[in-house]
Amino acid sequence: MNENLKFKTLLLQYRQFPKKITNSSPRPTPRFFQDVQTFSTKKAKGTPRDSLPPRPPVKSAPPVSRIFPHRPVERAQIVSFRSQHSNGSFLGNSSNNDRNLYFEQEFEIICKIGMGSFGEVYKVKSKEDGKLYAVKRSHERFRGDADRRRKLEEVAKHETLPPHPNCVTFYRAWEERQRLYIQAELCKISFSEYTDQHHEMLEEGIWNFLVDLLMAVKHLHDHNLVHMDIKPENIFISYDNICKLGDFGLVLDVSKGSDLSEAQEGDPKYIAPELMDGKFGKPADVFSLGMATLELAGDLDLPRGEEGWHLLRSGTIPEEFLRDKSFDLKYVIRQMLDPDPRSRPTVDQVLAFPYVRRMWKRRRREYVMKSVINSIKAMFFRLLQFVFMITSVFSFPVKKIRERQVPSSSSHNTSYSSGYPLDHSISDDDCFEDDISIHNNSVGAPLDSSSSSDGFSSEFIVPSRPMPRHAFTTPV
């Protein structure tokens, strides 16, 4: 009896939980890597661009109340590490006495053109010179003195680096209400937005992109600076169709004796594998640029992790996305994505490749031609301004003389008309001719042909029918 009861109980449990009993396994089922399912194009997947990258970790940032017990000064102050500027000088007196921001007083905000973990970027028009600029404002307030120094280091890197045609031009920076503002050159579009609109790019455009960015990275490396965050979001296309590198927020100084404890890596989709071991250096920029070139050449949707991320950093490149590309381009991408930073070529070595060198010379000739054309346009515009100025100078006295002559004649006519009003009425007598008489009149007939002795004619013209009178009198 007890055995039958146990059997029925087990049978009931089996019917209630069949999946739990049948699918139980002592070990998890292994999942094998599939090349086809790992990589895909951005056009097919429709990668959204509105998702923000993860924020970098905050190091040594205790609460503000512990560091600043009193309320800090929130007026606009210049941020500069140059000797001719003092870091505490005010930008303008209006910002000190007004509740409005200096940013809102000195600039006309047109629209927001970018947003990320660092903050927001606005397209503005300066009220001082009327030119267009891009102003980047930090997203959060300073969390302390250490956080403030770390963010202001970007300004120091901008001022240390000399201007270059392939780097976004820096103009000035200021801090206001515990936020950092950076005024920089305004470009036409970011490269990430351009690639979202153009999924199939010609190889000539890819070479132009690569050569421009190689020159920008070379400029940084020649000054012992590493960008650490090369990606399409930080690459911009100017109005002259020149690619420029921007956003120096994570730029690292690798000169002798520099402290790398505060170094931070950039976007995980583009970082080099040696950064996982804490090895920061110039080869990391070469790898990031090679990854961005691979994404551009194959319209590849780069993975953020898992198997695809490790495959790209182990030397495996999806060849199916580069079938229509030349051998030289694929060779350069493979060399730049070398997993070993010691065998990875430097920027100068990549520029020394024969095909890259030819493309660089062609690109330099194009840049010189554009510079000459822009100079000619500027000279022609100045010439037009000069001609317009000369014309205005000589035409102004003539205009004044004419204005003086016109009122004198008009005043004379006015005085004459006021003293002797003109009569614009029309009489019936004015309509007759001079030869009209009593003997030749078709309008009336004489009543009597006799004449008086006093000289007055006794003949009267009586009209056969009354004639209407029309008066065209203009009131004075």
Say which amino acid occupies 273. Answer: P
Q: Backbone phi, then psi, for 199, in 5-degree steps?
A: -80, -25
218 assigned ligand-binding residue: no
Residue 457's beta-bridge partner residues? Answer: none
DSSP 4-21: HHHHHHHHHHHHH-HHHH
Q: How far apart are CA 131 and CA 107, in angstroms?
A: 10
- Residues carrying an active site annotation: 229
**What dihedral angle (degrees, nearest 10) is formed by the CA atoms of 205, 210, 216, 222?**
-150
DSSP 99-119: SS-HHHHHEEEEEEEEE-SSE
Quote the crossing angle between the two packed helices 354-419 and 203-222, to the nearest 10°.
100
Q: How far is CA 199 from CA 202, 210, 257, 304, 334, in A?
A: 10, 17, 44, 20, 22
Q: How far apart are CA 307 and CA 324, in angstroms?
A: 25
Q: How far apart are CA 385 and CA 99, in angstroms?
A: 40
User: Quick check: 446 and 461 in contact, CB under 8 A?
Assistant: yes
| Nearest CA among 116, 131, 103 for reference residue 56 | 116
Q: How far apart are CA 126 and CA 110, in angstroms?
A: 10
Residue 180's beta-bridge partner residues? Answer: 175
Any long-range contacts for 102-105 (C-beta under 8 Å, 24+ apart)? 102/76, 102/174, 102/176, 103/135, 103/137, 103/176, 103/181
Torsional sign, CA 218, 158, 107, 127: negative
Q: How far is CA 109 from CA 116, 127, 287, 347, 441, in A?
A: 18, 10, 37, 39, 88
DSSP 134-183: EEEEESS---SHHHHHHHHHHHHHHHHSPP-TTBPPEEEEEEETTEEEEE
Torsional sign, CA 236, 239, 242, 244: negative
Return binding residues for ATP. 136
Q: Binding site: what residues are annotated? A: 136
